[in-house]
Structure formats: C-alpha cells, structure tokens
C-alpha cells in the first residue's frame, strides 16, 4: 500500500483501471458485463479528459435502477466472478473518489466517502486471486513508481503504459 501511495493521482487510477481491464473478460458471460465495460470506458474517459462530473461516474457504481456495479457484484454467480466484480467496483469507486477530489467536492456519497487504503488492498487481494500472471500487479506498480511518482506534474502516457503491460504479459 505504501508503494501505491508513492504514485501520482492519475497513476493510481491508471493502475487500478489497467489491472481491471486485464480481468474484465472473465465476467463476459455475466449479466451486467456491458455495464462493467461501459463503466471502465467512462472511467478512462474521465482520466483522459476530466470533462464531466464525478456524479456521472457514480451512477455506474450505484443507482436506483439497480443496473450498477454494486448490484451485479452482489448477483455474482461464483466466487471468481465475484472477485472480478469486486475489483471493478473498487477501481471505479477509487476513480470516482479521485474525480470528487478533483472537483474539490466536500460532500461525497457514502460509498465514496468510505474509499481508503482498504479499498486498494481489497482490489489487489482479489486481483491476485483471479489473474494467472499476478506478478503484473507488482511490475506495473514499479513501472508507475519510476515514471509517475507522487506530486509529479507529468501527464500519464497511456500508450507507453499499455505497451509496458503487453510486453510484461508476453514474457
């Protein structure tokens, strides 16, 4: 967790979203898969542009129509699928938390207000249980620490990160 805290704000989001992208297809047969894909796409879009508000992301995590990540996570039909849903939910919750911080919002939805180090630890624990090459989480963390340390103003280069992940997986 200390290493995660050494990353820039955007690099933290990139870390969670990138690892989520590696496991999302494991729930491709699950009800709600399209919502999961759309929620991650929207989270990436927010990271790149920051041109819409955190509330627009939050509806993917929780909404009254029960077409949200939290609902589908509870409906998961087996333990591995549930772990993937937990990862996606945690990655999205963390991204939404960062979006509210970016907006300097004082009042957060209860679910987002509770985002903390345990959210990230839960993500990593569940990711490592469902992804075969779980050393990728450590390799990506190291890469991001080296290139996007805390307080760095450097814009995150998503292409170089994707290349790094692809090359790490091939090894």
Contact 115, 93 (CB under 8 A): yes
Q: CB neighbours of 78 closer than 8 A, spacing ≥ 6?
A: none
**Could you state, in order of their start, the residue ranges of all structural domains in the chain?**
2-170
Contact 143, 161 (CB under 8 A): yes
Q: For the segment 3-30, what is each residue's pLDDT rounded down to a tens digit? A: 999 999 999 999 999 999 999 999 999 9
Beta bridge partners of 159: none
d(CA 123, CA 118): 8
Q: CB neighbours of 2 closer than 8 A, spacing ≥ 6?
A: none
pLDDT at 34 over 80: yes
pLDDT at 170 over 90: no
Q: For the segment 67-98, what is each residue's pLDDT rounded down to a tens digit? A: 999 999 999 989 999 999 999 999 999 999 99
pTM: 0.96
pLDDT for the residue 2 = 82
pLDDT for the residue 153 = 83
d(CA 101, CA 118): 18
What is the CB neighbour count within 10 angstroms for residue 70? 17
pLDDT at 171 over 70: no
For tokens 């772990």, the residue is: 83
Contact 127, 11 (CB under 8 A): no
């Amino acid at each position: 967790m200390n290493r995660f805290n050494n990353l820039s704000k955007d690099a933290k989001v990139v870390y969670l979203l990138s690892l989520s992208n590696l496991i999302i297809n494991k729930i491709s047969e699950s009800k709600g898969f399209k919502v999961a894909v759309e929620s991650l796409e929207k989270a990436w879009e927010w990271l790149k542009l920051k041109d819409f508000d955190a509330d627009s992301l939050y509806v993917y995590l929780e909404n009254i129509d029960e077409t949200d990540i939290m609902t589908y996570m509870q409906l998961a039909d087996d333990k591995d699928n549930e772990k993937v849903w937990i990862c996606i939910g945690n990655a999205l919750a963390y991204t939404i938390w960062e979006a509210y911080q970016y907006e300097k919002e004082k009042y957060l939805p209860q679910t987002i207000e509770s985002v903390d180090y345990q959210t990230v630890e839960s993500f990593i624990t569940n990711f490592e249980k469902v992804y075969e090459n779980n050393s990728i989480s450590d390799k990506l963390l190291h890469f991001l620490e080296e290139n996007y340390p805390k307080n760095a103003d450097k814009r995150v280069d998503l292409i170089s990160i994707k290349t790094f992940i692809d090359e790490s997986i091939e090894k």
